[in-house]
Amino acid sequence: MKQKQFAKRLGRCFVPILCLTFIINLLWPDADQSTIENRSLQQFPTWSWQNVWDGRYQSAITTWFSDQFVGRNIWIHGRYLFLKATQNQKINDVFLAKDQLIQDSAKPQWAQIHRNIKAINILSKSTGIPTSFLLAPTALSMQKDHVDKDAIAYDQNAIIHTIDKKIDGSIQIVDLRQSLKKHDQEYIYYKTDHHWTSLGAFYAFQALYPESKKSDYKQMLVSDSFHGTLSHTTGSVGIKDSIHIFVPKDQPDYLVTNEDDGTRSRTWYHSKAIASNDQYAVFGNGNHALVRMEMDTNATGHLLLIKDSYANALIPFLIPYYKSITVVDPRYYYGDLHQLIKQDQIDSMMYVYNVNTFIEDDSLADCLQ
């Protein structure tokens, strides 16, 4: 009886509280951006009969109320702290490891994976251009002991093995797992982001060029307050990263042209990103459809690099080894790749992807055809 009375009283209070919160939200200025989630927030929608009739207005109001909820950031952080304190292992697809966030393996889309592999093999055979394939494991593959193994959705190592077996024998497969595993106790993956660090990218580069040494580079700290994509997803508290860049002691002059907007730079690094919510964009100013790099070196090779964002931290290590590098991100590129190969006199190709992106990518095969 007492429980029913309590429920009735709670119900009577709930509606007025909800109405009061809605009124406060109406009066409170809308925020444009969530710094915690690193995304744009829904603004109060414009009313029209058409939008009401087809349901878009009601949907937008719901999203607006959720996005602009007063004290939203406190709720996001509070949720993370509560789940952490109650021994919850995951928020969405992110493991809450000790002092670290680790992304779970993505679900492999095998029909699309086979289509991508077929396109890679066909392009390599049809052009005859020497090609290398680098499929980067994520932190989960290297640091499985940091999470409950029974909670891992898919075996990432088995996925990589299956993909590598189907890549044509004429293509050089660079298995990065062994190179990274030797250094799995080092800072090779960010704690709040799904990318590898510059150190992790260096060890991947070392698998390509074993003669390279860390002493050939000057390591520079550019940020000690990086909060990456996994932090934005979970609202984590008390975890942050640092970003270092590796600068060769014999750094050649080079020119970077972003063909998206025609901007040019004398460096791959974008210092303004450090003051933004996307500090990883310090590497190449984020992802772009087509970027051309021209180097003042004695090298003669012209590389076509087909990649996702993992390659952004790897590219600086490749600069001294080529006369030019043409960088294509298939998620944004809609040009004729075959024409681009001829135009840029490409004589070598390289694929650099992290396994999670590769097994979900539905743009690669279309780009290569």
7 falls within a domain:
yes
Higher per-residue pLDDT: 57 or 349: 349
- The pair of structure tokens assigned to 263 is 């901007």
Higher per-residue pLDDT: 211 or 28: 211
Per-residue pLDDT of 288-318, as tens digits, reads 999 999 999 999 999 999 999 999 999 999 9
- Residue 217 pairs in a beta bridge with 248
83 falls within a domain:
no
User: What pLDDT does 344 receive?
Assistant: 97
Same domain, 65 and 113: no
Mark residue 285 as left, alpha or beta (left: phi above 0; alpha: psi -120 to 50; beta: remaining): left
Same domain, 141 and 238: yes
Same domain, 113 and 63: no
User: What pLDDT does 36 receive?
Assistant: 44
| Distances 69 to 23, 65, 112 between C-alpha atoms, Å | 11, 6, 39
pLDDT class for 146, splitting at 50, 70, 90? Answer: confident
User: What pLDDT does 13 receive?
Assistant: 55
Which has the closest alpha carbon to 329: 293, 282, 356, 363?
A: 363
Gyration radius (Cα) of the chain, Å: 24
Single out the residue in 14, 46, 70 at which a domain terminates: 70
Task: Judge whether residue 189 has pLDDT over 70.
Answer: yes
99 falls within a domain:
no
CA 259, 265, 269, 270 torsion: positive or negative? negative
User: What pLDDT does 64 receive?
Assistant: 56
Same domain, 346 and 204: yes
Same domain, 123 and 48: no
8 falls within a domain:
yes
Range of the domain at 298: 104-368
85 falls within a domain:
no
User: What pLDDT does 22 receive?
Assistant: 54
Same domain, 248 and 295: yes
Which residues does 16 contact at the CB level (< 8 Å), separation at least 6?
A: none
Which has the closest alpha carbon to 205: 183, 220, 228?
A: 183
23 falls within a domain:
yes
Same domain, 209 and 317: yes
pLDDT class for 246, splitting at 50, 70, 90? Answer: very high
- Separation of alpha carbons 57 and 121, rounded Å: 48
Residue 157 CA from chain centroid, whole number? 19
Same domain, 60 and 137: no
Task: State the angle between helix axes of 110-127 and 156-166 in degrees (0 to 180), rounded to the nearest 10.
Answer: 30
What's the structural domain count of the chain? 2
| pTM across the whole model | 0.82
Single out the residue in 24, 48, 70 at which a domain terminates: 70
Single out the residue in 51, 70, 89 at which a domain terminates: 70
226 falls within a domain:
yes
Same domain, 37 and 186: no
User: What pLDDT does 86 receive?
Assistant: 72
Same domain, 30 and 151: no
Same domain, 183 and 309: yes
Same domain, 43 and 116: no
Per-residue pLDDT of 262-291, as tens digits, reads 999 999 999 999 998 899 999 999 999 999
79 falls within a domain:
no
Average pLDDT over all residues of the chain:
86
DSSP string, 297-354: SS---EEEEEE-GGGGGTHHHHGGG-SEEEEE-TTT--S-HHHHHHHTT--EEEEEEE
